[in-house]
Amino acid sequence: MTVYARVAGGLVAELVEIEAEGPPLAELFHPDFVATMVALPEGSEVAEGWTWDGEAFAPPPPPEPVAPVVPATISRRQMLLALVAGEVITAAEAWEAATVGAVPAAIDAVFAALPDADALAARITFATMIEVERAHPLIGAMIAAELVTEAEADSLFVLAATL
């Protein structure tokens, strides 16, 4: 059995197997079709999607990783679970925040650096928010205070959306 790769635009479009004892390729197909065929070396592992540069076959490059979409909002529960998973707060702090509205120490330290009126508003907002917006100023304050980086905040939101 002889295997041919039909090449279109430098890519293997399909593989065609022809019986070795059968008629020649030129008798089976139209000359234009035959002109697109390249005989594969016996035992080669060429597959559809491989490239052909006129001399050699090569596998396609690996697909580009798809960047996860950062959700615009997450729930408070998701936020607390993600903060624990990201080791920003402890499980005990998350439980206390979930049950009595306490502000975890690392986050409270960020709020403590704000002017008094803003610190109070930040604490109340954090303790009572139902949804957390990625663009919320409290997230910005946590980034500005270097509790998390922009990328870490994005990662926490992506993780939170799965929880």
- Measured distance between the N- and C-terminal CA atoms of the chain, rounded to whole angstroms: 53
Cα(148)–Cα(62) distance, rounded to whole angstroms? Answer: 32
pTM of the model: 0.61
Structure tokens at 158: 């992506």
pLDDT band, residue 26 (cuts 50/70/90):
confident
- pLDDT of residue 22 exceeding 90, the answer is no
- pLDDT of 2 reads 87
Give the model confidence (pLDDT) of 133-156 as tens digits.
999 999 999 999 999 999 999 999
For residue 31, give Cα distances in angstroms to 1, 37, 54, 127, 128. 21, 10, 18, 75, 74
Environment class of 145 (CB within 10 Å of its CB; exposed 0-12, middle 13-18, buried 19+): middle
Largest CA distance in the chain: 90
Of 1, 6, 57, nearest to 29 (Cα)? 6
Give the model confidence (pLDDT) of 31-43 as tens digits.
999 999 999 988 8
**Three-state secondary structure call for residue 77:** helix
Give the model confidence (pLDDT) of 68-94 as tens digits.
999 999 999 999 999 999 999 999 999
